[in-house]
Amino acid sequence: MLQVDGVTKRYGDVLACDRVSFDVGAGELFGFVGGNGAGKTTTMRIVLGVLAPDAGEVRFRGAPVDHAARRRFGYLPEERGLYPRMRVLDQLVYLAELHGADTNAAHRAAEHWIARLGLRGHRDTEVQRLSLGNQQRVQLAAALVHDPLVLVLDEPFSGLDPLAVDVLVEVLREQAAAGVPVVFSSHQLDLVERLCDRVGIITAGRVVASGTVEQLRAGTGSTLVVDAPAAPAGWAAGLPGVTVLGVHNGQTRLRVAPGTDDQPILAAALATGPVRGFTHQHPTLAELYRDVVGVR
C-alpha cells in the first residue's frame, strides 16, 4: 500500500538515507526503529514530501506519491510544532481545512479529536498556555484531524503520560483496523514489540532488518536465563554456541545459537553450584535490535 523504494538522501558527506526500502500494507502497524541520527526522521520527511529524495521514490496504492496524495497523509513530526498563540480549536480547524476539509467537516473533526484526546477543557486555550503533555495531544490531533489515509508518526509516544500512551495505542489500533497503514518510530522497543505487526530496523541510513518480530527472531536462537546465584563471573564464556548478554542479580542471560544443545550449558551451570532456574525465552525486540545494530 505504502512503498518506500530505494530512497536515498545525502547531506554533504553524510548519507542520511541509503537505499531505504520498506512496505506498509493496508491496516498494518509498522514500527520504525533506529538510533538517533540513523535516518528515521529524514525518511519520514521524504515520505511526507517535506524533503525531496536524491534517488528512489515513495508510492501509495502503486502510484508515485504527489502533492494531492500527500494531502491525505497524517504527519506527526519529531520536532513538534504548532502556532503558539492560536487556540486549540482554531488550530485544528485550520489544519483540517489546509488538508482539504470543508469548514463544517473541519469543525466536526476538530471537535471529535479534541474530545477523543481528552482536550475538551482546553479547546479555547492558546497552545502556548498548555502543558507539554497537552500540547503533545494537540499535535496528535493535528495529525489525525483530516481523517488521513496514511499515518506517519515520528516518536509519537515521547512525552506522553501512561494514560495518554494507552489512548494513543487504542487510536493507532483503531486507525489500522480501518485499513490505514501506520508508520511510527519509537525508542520504546517494548511498546513497538507489543503494538507493531512489522518492524524495520535502520542504522546509519540503511534498513538492516525488517519483518514481523517473529521473522526477526528466526535464526537468532533463543535467550536462556540461568539462575545460578553462586556462579562466578565468566562461567559461561567459552561455551560453544553461547553469547553472554548480561548478568543481573545472579541471573545470567545467554544468547544461544540455533541448534545448540543446551545440556552442556546446564552442566556447566551446575558445576558452579546450585541452579534455581533454567528458562528459554524469546529474545525481546530490544535484544534483537542490539544484535542487529551490533552494540551490546
Partner 1 sequence: MSPGHTVWLVARRELRTRLRAKSFLVGTAVSIAVLIGFVLLQSTLFGGERVTRVGLSGQATAISAPLTEEARSRGFEVRISTVRDPATGESAITDGELDALVTGTPAALHVVVDESLDENLRRALNTLVQSEVLRAQLAAVEELDPDQVLATVADATVDVRSLRAPDPTHDQRLALALVIVALLYLSLLLYGTMVAQGVVEEKSSRVVEVLLATVRPWELLAGKVVGLGLVGLAQLTVVGGVGVVLAAVTDVLTIPGVALGTLLWGLLWYLLGYLFYATVFAAAGSLVSRQEETQSVLLPITSVLVLAFVLGFGLLARLPNSSATAVLSVLPPFAPILLPGRLALGTATAWEVVVAIVLMLTSVAALTWLAGRIYAKAVLRTGPRLPLRDALRKGAP
Stretch that binds partner 1, among 66-74, 171-179, 224-232, 280-288 (CB under 8 A): 66-74
Selected from 25, 27, 35, 49, the binder of partner 1 by CB under 8 A is 49
Least separation in angstroms between CB 38 and partner 1: 19
Least separation in angstroms between CB 213 and partner 1: 29
Cell readout for 285 is 525486540
| 8 A C-beta contact, residue 126 and residue 87 | yes
Does residue 14 interact with partner 1 by CB under 8 A? no
| 8 A C-beta contact, residue 189 and residue 33 | yes
Q: Please, which residues bridge with residue 68 across strands?
A: none
Does residue 6 interact with partner 1 by CB under 8 A? no
Does residue 81 interact with partner 1 by CB under 8 A? yes
Binding residues among 87-146 for partner 1 as defined by CB under 8 A: 94-95, 97-100, 142
| 8 A C-beta contact, residue 32 and residue 184 | yes
Instruction: Count CA within 13 A, CB hemisphere, residue 54.
Output: 13
Does residue 79 interact with partner 1 by CB under 8 A? yes
What residues have CB less than 8 Å from 243, skipping those under 6 apart? 254, 255, 257
User: What's the Cα-to-Cα distance from 156 to each of 35, 83, 84, 95, 270, rounded to whole Å?
Assistant: 16, 19, 20, 18, 46
Length reported for the chain: 296
Nearest to 141 by CA among 102, 97, 106, 92: 92
Least separation in angstroms between CB 290 and partner 1: 31
Does residue 71 interact with partner 1 by CB under 8 A? yes
Stretch that binds partner 1, among 73-81, 108-116, 173-181, 219-227 (CB under 8 A): 73-81
DSSP-derived secondary structure for 138-207: HHHHHHHTT--SEEEEESTTTT--HHHHHHHHHHHHHHHHTT--EEEE-S-HHHHHHH-SEEEEEETTEE
Compare residues 94 and 278 and give the one whose CB is closer to partner 1. 94
Does residue 11 interact with partner 1 by CB under 8 A? no
Does residue 85 interact with partner 1 by CB under 8 A? yes
Does residue 178 interact with partner 1 by CB under 8 A? no
Compare residues 80 and 290 and give the one whose CB is closer to partner 1. 80
Selected from 6, 14, 37, 50, the binder of partner 1 by CB under 8 A is 50
Does residue 52 interact with partner 1 by CB under 8 A? yes
d(CA 134, CA 140): 10
Stretch that binds partner 1, among 24-32, 68-76, 180-188, 248-256 (CB under 8 A): 68-76
Binding residues among 214-253 for partner 1 as defined by CB under 8 A: none
- Binding residues for partner 1 (CB under 8 A): 45, 48-52, 67, 70-71, 73, 75, 77, 79-86, 94-95, 97-100, 142
